[in-house]
Structure 1
């Protein structure tokens, strides 16, 4: 076998995949530094891997990610599964609504955005959400998770919020206030963002959001939202125009996730 030639292009492709799996998502220049490949060569390799379904480019961070085809099972890489399933659905939603949307999952007392269309939307809103911990009780996504969680998990989440002791989630100590908020949320069929809430930039206090839960095996593991500038539309008017489209996107994500999981993934409470 020593006289048989190897396939150089295949070797390069495997090097890129190993880098993405071992060291995480990366920009083109980072992959070039990791692999030692020139950018023109790397672009050809990445295009081939994208077309074959082994690499995808995030719509929120614009980084190259390995796909779930390279994940041993859905449970071990469940966040990657959720992001990859949601990405094309969020893309379609943005193309129709134009306002951006985020897909977040609950983990350890906060909502963590896995994918977002903020870079695709013509409306310029804060694009730093991928690196932010979003508070549960004042955010639309957090409220959606709580409202559609089973009682046992909801209580565990609220207990974790009390333990973390962050001011934005102080309502977790008031069981009656939380119960009233969640009852209202379920009754209207969608969660809303607390007026004036912001994460990192004060100007985000002028942003509103509505959200619907992302369900796996009957449990709310996260949520998908639509965000807009409050001065452009009131909440009721926005919901009247776009809630149906948000509901359809959430339903499509839920249906696409259903066959991927044999059991509920286990986010850290």
Structure 2
């Protein structure tokens, strides 16, 4: 029974993939391409029609995909592509430099660590940070993203933060805008340790078409953060971020 259910799913997916290559199909055409029995095709199409993924023109005997098929790709976003393509690249670089890397993506008003190589780093300060929610304005990954995303997106986020800070927020917002301006000028962000034993993070944006769509961060022992370390690792992080962008989008933009 289980095997039959799996075969039914495979057949339905193969029909959907085939139908995506042309606008209209007859049973005869689908039969010729899939080699499935016409009786099976009728059942597959009837099921897909019932679920809203396929519609039929009875007068012409033609089947077409319905708009609902777009829902099948809704969860596979640009951010998902960055994480999928970036994970093996981040792992390779971690094995080279030893320090753990993380890919952060925006989720509403925060950044979320969508991938982390901490489990593979001998220098990890935590077992993993996957799923950690980071401030857009206080974390290095958040600042690297917010300083380099589109102007419209950045202004929208800052408007939200200003509302949350209250009426006496002018000084605080000036500090945030000034910090983001500096990060934009430098091309990277640094989260320095609050205490001697805290960790520190160095982060750069991952660009597509001149705007950040994610951020790449490297976490180290806080007491090691220095200008020399920044100068050593920022170029490596920028090259890695560019490599991720190329893997996702074949993006020709320079990484520097």
Counterpart for residue 112 of structure 1: 112
Partner SS for 1:174 = helix
Counterpart for residue 137 of structure 2: 137
Q: Is the 8 A contact 2:192 2:199 kept in 1?
A: no
RMSD: 3.3
Distance between the aligned counterparts of 2:130 and 2:191, measured in 1?
A: 18
Q: In terms of mean alpha carbon deviation, does 151-160 or 242-251 score higher?
A: 151-160
Counterpart for residue 242 of structure 1: 233
Distance between the aligned counterparts of 1:223 and 1:172, measured in 2?
A: 27
Counterpart for residue 179 of structure 1: 177
Q: In terms of mean alpha carbon deviation, does 172-181 or 93-102 score higher?
A: 172-181
- Residue 89 of structure 1 and its aligned partner are, at CA, apart by 0.8
- Residue 259 of structure 1 and its aligned partner are, at CA, apart by 5.0
Distance between the aligned counterparts of 2:171 and 2:93, measured in 1?
A: 36
- Residue 143 of structure 1 and its aligned partner are, at CA, apart by 0.5
Sort the Cα spacing of 1:188 and 1:259 in 2 relative to 1 into closer, same or farther, 3 A.
Answer: closer
Sort the Cα spacing of 1:181 and 1:171 in 2 relative to 1 into closer, same or farther, 3 A.
Answer: farther
- Corresponding position: 1:217 with 2:217: no
Partner SS for 2:106 = strand
Counterpart for residue 91 of structure 1: 91
Q: In terms of mean alpha carbon deviation, does 133-142 or 152-161 score higher?
A: 152-161
TM-score where L is the length of structure 2: 0.63
- 1:44-87 deviation per Cα after TM superposition (whole angstroms, max 9, x unaligned): xxxxxxxxxxxxxxxxxxxxxxxxxxx944x6411332211110
Alignment of 1:19-168 (within 5 A): 72-73=72-73, 76-78=75-77, 79-163=79-163
Partner SS for 2:122 = coil
244, 255, 269: which one aligns with 2:246: 255
Partner SS for 1:228 = strand
Sort the Cα spacing of 1:128 and 1:163 in 2 relative to 1 into closer, same or farther, 3 A.
Answer: farther
Distance between the aligned counterparts of 1:230 and 1:171, measured in 2?
A: 30
- 1:233-267 deviation per Cα after TM superposition (whole angstroms, max 9, x unaligned): 2331211222221111100111222259xxxxxxx
Counterpart for residue 44 of structure 2: none
Sort the Cα spacing of 1:215 and 1:72 in 2 relative to 1 into closer, same or farther, 3 A.
Answer: farther
Sort the Cα spacing of 1:146 and 1:93 in 2 relative to 1 into closer, same or farther, 3 A.
Answer: same
- Residue 173 of structure 1 and its aligned partner are, at CA, apart by 6.8
Residue correspondences, number: 189
